[in-house]
Chain A
Amino acid sequence: NAGVTQTPKFQVLKTGQSMTLQCAQDMNHEYMSWYRQDPGMGLRLIHYSVGAGITDQGEVPNGYNVSRSTTEDFPLRLLSAAPSQTSVYFCASSYSGAYGYTFGSGTRLTVV
């Protein structure tokens, strides 16, 4: 099993550009989430999904969109990148809310 796979690992964007961060899991997990981690800070929830076709906003959803058309994939779209979105982004999945999450290795995004 590959677990949770995130691509790309690194990305530099110019202000105003859009892009999609990819996340895929092969564990048949229903729950998937996107977090951002800023230097010296904890993880803040951006969006989450409890199953295919269902998404909801987390603590810091502005500037990001998600969709969940399949159980395996949960892409995160940055609509118009801003320097404030410079961060490390983690995707995570879980069998359900009652189980621990498996995290991907992260995408380090820099917006200039």
Chain B
Amino acid sequence: GQQVMQIPQYQHVQEGEDFTTYCNSSTTLSNIQWYKQRPGGHPVFLIQLVKSGEVKKQKRLTFQFGEAKKNSSLHITATQTTDVGTYFCAGDNAGNMLTFGGGTRLMVKP
């Protein structure tokens, strides 16, 4: 079945440093979604990418979808303590099933 891998599992950064998490799928995706989960909370939808090579920005967050539609990345510029949480990618291969990666837990030292 479809597998979605995410690296790294954990990342400690100093406040103000940049952060990137990478997502790779074993199959070509129709779209990829990104979610953020704060400690003790539930996943919250951030964005969806659909087109090959697509790049979208939300303030300090930049999301990319690979040309082959099998990989994606999330980059945060100048992290803040409010960015703390676990970031998940989730791939949809048009089979109505959304498969989540294992997540990257971001910790920010003030």
Check if B1 is an interface residue, CB within 8 A of chain A.
yes
Question: In whole angstroms, how far apart are the Cα atoms of A43 and B100 in the complex?
Answer: 6
Q: Which residues of the partner chain B approach A63 to less than 8 Å between Cβ atoms? A: none
Chain A positions near chain B (C-beta within 8 angstroms): 31, 33, 35, 41-45, 48, 50, 56, 58-59, 90, 92, 97-106
Q: Which residues of the partner chain B approach A50 to less than 8 Å between Cβ atoms? A: 96
Main secondary structure on chain B at its contact with chain A? strand
Q: How far is the CB of B46 from chain A (nearest CB, A)?
A: 8
| Additional A-B contact list (20), CB under 8 Å, known A45-B100, A97-B96, A98-B50 | A31-B96, A42-B6, A42-B88, A42-B100, A43-B100, A45-B98, A50-B96, A56-B96, A59-B1, A90-B42, A97-B94, A97-B98, A98-B31, A98-B48, A98-B92, A101-B33, A101-B43, A101-B45, A101-B98, A104-B42
Within residues 23 to 63 of chain B, which ones have a CB less than 8 A from any CB in chain A? 31, 33, 35, 41-48, 50
Q: How far is the CB of B76 from chain A (nearest CB, A)?
A: 19
Chain B positions near chain A (C-beta within 8 angstroms): 1, 6, 31, 33, 35, 41-48, 50, 88, 90, 92, 94, 96-103
Q: Which residues of the partner chain B approach A35 to less than 8 Å between Cβ atoms? A: 100
- In the complex, the chain A residue whose C-beta lies closest to that of B105 is A40
Question: In whole angstroms, how far apart are the Cα atoms of A105 and B31 in the complex?
Answer: 25
Residue among A50, A90, A99, A100 with max Cβ neighbours from chain B (10 Å): A100
